Amino acid sequence: MALRSITLLFCSTLGLAGQTGKPDVLVQKLVSEISLDRIGTTMKHLGDFGTRSVFSDTDEPGNGIKAARTWIYNELKSYSPRLEVSYDPWKVKKQTRIFRDVELVNVVAILPGTSQPEKRILITGHYDSLAIVTREGAGDFRASGDGATDAMDAEKSALSPAPGVSDDASGTAVVMELARVMSQYKFEKTLVFVAFAGEEVGLVGSTLYADRAKAEGQKIEAVLNNDIVGNDVSGDGRAQSGLVRVFSEEPADSSSRELARYVRETAQKYVPAFRADPVFRNDRFSRGGDHTPFVANGFAGVRFTTPAENLGVQHTPNDTFDRASPAYTANVAKVNAAVAASLALAPSAPEVNREVTTGANKGRQLPNLARGKSLYDAVLRWKDAAADDLAGYAVVMRPTTSPFWEREIFVGKATEYTFEGLSIDDIIIGVKAIDKDGNESLVSPYIAPPYPRRAIELVQ
């Protein structure tokens, strides 16, 4: 197949795709089963524990983080016998924001995949909470944008009421509702639902989990982290009920950035009345979340957060249910469900790199993108995904200055495609796999590797 010019190439080609843009009936069904009432009930119940500070490990019934995690565990166990629910405990020494040794316990529920069980999709939030009390004379602790600074009195903060409904009972409610709905179905890839502990004291639970996943060689395809998705009115009264921010790490074609683009497109397909708008930075300015340790370990991860953060309520005893919007959280949950299900049902992303075996670049991984025999074409090659339900591949492209893929061409089950007269210098090109139900893999972009640094010997 060949196209004669860039002008022809960038004409509308979606009609050629056949499967591209086609909603999956199963994904539509499970998105429709997300329950606003259950999400609201979960948010309120978590807020009613009084505090979920990591230092509130009391045996008092109905109060503190131990009671909260027991309730989360039991709820997850009740959803389906196919869910493998467990505690993930870590004993952490006194350090930085952790003023004494403490046990942090993540709560994990795994829904094993069928044909691609080694591939994992994580849906996450954190169930610990924090209300900050500053040291006497410390000044305005909110000046930095993040409450937990050196100005915090850690011991007094640990004793303060901290309902943490938006931050982050809301994210935990998303995790639990997706576990409930999705555990009624089977998926090719493994789905992992995690309520992290220790986010408020330095992303501790997620860091330990991500580091272990890296050490074990886990194949985590995507991390969907939900943090502060419980309100749609900010402290200055601005209402933003129709969209959620999706943060992703640089560079422009990192795996996390491709995941953010995927989230945007999937939301348009399955939740068209609610936008998922990418923000091209890892997190809010100078702040972090539980996706960050996964990104640091080389996994694709994004963060969902309301555009209407109430900064005067976060990390205070006033982050209560009456200030929350379960309806907003339910829309965020629907986007998560559509993305997680689409990825869990889709073929693996095509492999686009090849290892150079000879010459100066021996041992390097380089993209299978060339100019062709004429030197003025663009020739793309990729490795066949070999999925049983593969419909074929779609080539996507955009100008180097565009943030989102602008055109795509369905090329069937070919593993090579040539564009005549197309300069590979002017555009970014990628390829994705599509199954017969219309589920799409993440895009594998063709990225130019950095120019290698070489030592040059001089005549002495």
Give dist(CA 262, CA 268) in Å, integer.
10
Q: What is the CATH number of domain 6-20+348-445?
A: 2.60.40.10
CA distances from residue 364 to 356, 358, 369 in whole angstroms, order as listed: 6, 10, 14
Burial of 103-141, coded b for 16+ CB within 10 Å and e otherwise, reads ebbbbbbbbebeebeebbbbbbbbbbbbbbbbeeeeeeb
Give dist(CA 222, CA 210) in Å, integer.
12
Q: Provide the pLDDT for residue 1.
A: 36
At what angle are helices 170-182 and 36-47 packed, to 10 degrees? 140
Q: Provide the pLDDT for residue 13.
A: 39
Q: Provide the pLDDT for residue 285.
A: 84
Tokens of 179: 């576990």
Supply the DSSP symbol for 77. Answer: H
Torsion of CA 148, 152, 154, 155, to 10 degrees: -150
In the block, which residue shows the tokens 């074929």? 392
Q: Provide the pLDDT for residue 84.
A: 98
Q: Considering all CA atoms of the chain, what is the largest pairwise distance in Å, rounded to the nearest integer?
A: 79
Alpha helices in 305-417 (DSSP H): 326-345
Q: Provide the pLDDT for residue 21.
A: 64
Q: Provide the pLDDT for residue 372.
A: 76
Q: Provide the pLDDT for residue 138.
A: 55
**Domain residue ranges of the chain, discontinuous segments joined by +:** 6-20+348-445, 33-345
Supply the DSSP symbol for 120. Answer: E
Give dist(CA 105, CA 125) in Å, integer.
13
Q: Phi and psi dihedrals of 416, rounded to 5?
A: -150, 140
Q: How far, rounded to the nearest angstrom, does the alpha carbon of residue 82 sit from its chain's CA centroid?
A: 24
Regarding the domain with residue range 33-345, which homologous superfamily does it belong to in the CATH classification? Zn peptidases (3.40.630.10)
Q: Phi and psi dihedrals of 117, rounded to 5?
A: -65, -20
Task: Spell out the residues 6+ positions from residue 386 whose beta carbon is closer than 8 angstroms to its own.
Answer: none
Rounded mean pLDDT for each run of 10 residues along the chain, 460 residues in total = 35 40 90 98 97 89 94 98 98 90 97 97 97 71 48 80 96 98 97 97 96 98 98 93 96 95 97 97 90 97 96 93 97 98 96 72 68 82 85 92 94 89 85 94 85 82
Number of residues that this document lists for the chain:
460
CA distances from residue 370 to 326, 361, 374, 383, 448 in whole angstroms, order as listed: 51, 15, 10, 15, 11
At what angle are helices 326-345 and 36-47 packed, to 10 degrees? 110
Give dist(CA 155, CA 393) in Å, integer.
56
Q: Provide the pLDDT for residue 140.
A: 53
What angle (nearest 5°) sits at the alpha carbon of residue 57, between those of residues 53 and 58?
120
Q: Provide the pLDDT for residue 431.
A: 94
Q: Provide the pLDDT for residue 20.
A: 57
As to burial, measured by CB atoms within 10 angstroms (0-12 exposed, 13-18 middle, 19+ buried), residue 23 is: middle
